[in-house]
């Protein structure tokens, strides 16, 4: 096949990006292969750890630039999420967890648009599942420790319900607390990252195909339009990435707050 734009025939048909392209293996076989999101997640971990340690090791009252940046991220997590949701009494214990989750998620979402990395590890479903499992085990352990098994089940039913409807509500609440909440927590993050990256891929590969492999004036215009759309969508994606990291942290805090709450 010829890649020359002068070739009069349409050299190849357009292959839209498919989910198989998200599986990028470096070495290894099958379940034990070492893939691109794994590398990126390792990079995220190393960068987050070194940045946080470096900027907070010599914490001063008059902050340096790095410390200022860390505090700008830390303050909304501590005051806006942890304190407002978990309550002023015991929120401090959970701030490190929420802050670590937020930083990791933010950077691994942003990997989608950082040049040379350009792949979100959270666009592979295993990474949101692992993070969700981490949060899930913590909040269920807190709830069982605080309330006991019977107390936990009792606390699921809001008081004042009529007697005959309580068994059905209990079934609904158990399914919601133990299955629906973690599943939606993981799938919300995965779906947003996966679909966003897919959209960028589609606009860029489509624009490239129309510009270079198709003849005709109208294709050039559509190709340029497609690239412009890709730029716009990249800006939109950055917003979504911040938002999803924030929402994941917010919901994790909500679930922790629900499991330490003693009322209802």
Indicate the residue among 184 and 205 with the shorter CB distance to another protein. Answer: 184
CB of 62 to another protein, least distance (A): 11
CB of 160 to another protein, least distance (A): 8
CB of 74 to another protein, least distance (A): 16
Indicate the residue among 229 and 261 with the shorter CB distance to another protein. Answer: 261
66 vs 201: CA distance, rounded Å: 33
| Distances 42 to 69, 101, 261 between C-alpha atoms, Å | 22, 15, 35
| Distances 218 to 91, 133, 212 between C-alpha atoms, Å | 59, 50, 13
User: What distance lies between CA 52 and its chain's CA centroid?
Assistant: 20
What is the chain's percent helix, strand, coil content, to nearest 5? Answer: 75, 0, 25
CB of 253 to another protein, least distance (A): 8
Sequence-distant (6+) residues with CB within 8 A of 144 are 152
Residue 77 near another protein by CB under 8 A? no
Indicate the residue among 107 and 251 with the shorter CB distance to another protein. Answer: 251
CB of 49 to another protein, least distance (A): 28
Count of positions on this chain that bind another protein (CB under 8 A): 31
Task: Dihedral sign for Cα 246, 250, 253, 255, please.
Answer: negative
CB of 231 to another protein, least distance (A): 26
Sequence-distant (6+) residues with CB within 8 A of 154 are 147
Q: Which 84-123 positions form the footprint of another protein (CB under 8 A)?
A: 84-87
207 vs 190: CA distance, rounded Å: 26
Beta bridge partners of 25: 35
Residue 240 near another protein by CB under 8 A? no
Sequence-distant (6+) residues with CB within 8 A of 160 are none
Q: Which helix (H) or strand (E) holds 27?
A: strand 25-27
| Contact region with another protein (CB under 8 A), list: 3-11, 78-86, 198-206, 207-215 | 78-86
Indicate the residue among 148 and 158 with the shorter CB distance to another protein. Answer: 158
Q: Which 11-70 positions form the footprint of another protein (CB under 8 A)?
A: none
Residue where the block lists tokens 């590969």: 205
Residues 151-190, one symbol each (x = binds another protein by CB under 8 A, - = not), give -------x-xx---x--xx-xxx-xx--xxx--x------
Residue 80 near another protein by CB under 8 A? yes
Residue 131 near another protein by CB under 8 A? no
Q: Which residues bind another protein (CB under 8 A)?
A: 80-81, 83-87, 158, 160-161, 165, 168-169, 171-173, 175-176, 179-181, 184, 247, 250-251, 253-254, 257, 261, 263-264
């Amino acid at each position: 096949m010829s890649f020359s734009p002068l070739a009069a025939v349409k050299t190849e048909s357009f292959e839209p990006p498919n989910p198989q392209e998200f599986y990028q293996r470096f070495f290894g076989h099958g379940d034990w292969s070492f893939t691109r999101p794994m590398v990126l997640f390792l990079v995220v971990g190393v960068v987050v750890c070194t940045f946080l340690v470096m900027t907070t090791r010599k914490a001063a009252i008059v902050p340096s630039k790095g410390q200022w940046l860390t505090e700008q991220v830390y303050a909304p997590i501590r005051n806006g999420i942890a304190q407002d949701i978990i309550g002023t009494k015991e929120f401090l214990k959970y701030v490190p967890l929420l802050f670590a989750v937020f930083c990791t998620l933010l950077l691994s979402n942003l990997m989608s648009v950082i040049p040379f990395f350009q792949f979100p590890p959270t666009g592979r479903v295993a990474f949101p599942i692992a993070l969700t499992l981490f949060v899930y085990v913590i909040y269920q352990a807190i709830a069982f420790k605080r309330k006991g098994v019977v107390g936990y089940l009792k606390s699921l039913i809001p008081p004042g319900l009529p007697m005959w409807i309580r068994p059905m509500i209990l079934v609904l609440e158990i399914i919601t607390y133990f299955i629906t909440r973690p599943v939606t927590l993981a799938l919300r993050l995965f779906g947003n990252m996966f679909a966003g990256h897919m959209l960028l891929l589609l606009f860029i590969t489509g624009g490239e195909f129309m510009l270079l492999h198709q003849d005709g004036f109208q294709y050039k215009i559509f190709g340029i339009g497609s690239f412009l759309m890709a730029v716009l969508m990249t800006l939109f994606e950055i917003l979504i990435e911040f938002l999803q990291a924030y929402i994941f942290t917010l919901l994790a805090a909500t679930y922790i707050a629900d499991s330490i709450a003693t009322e209802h």
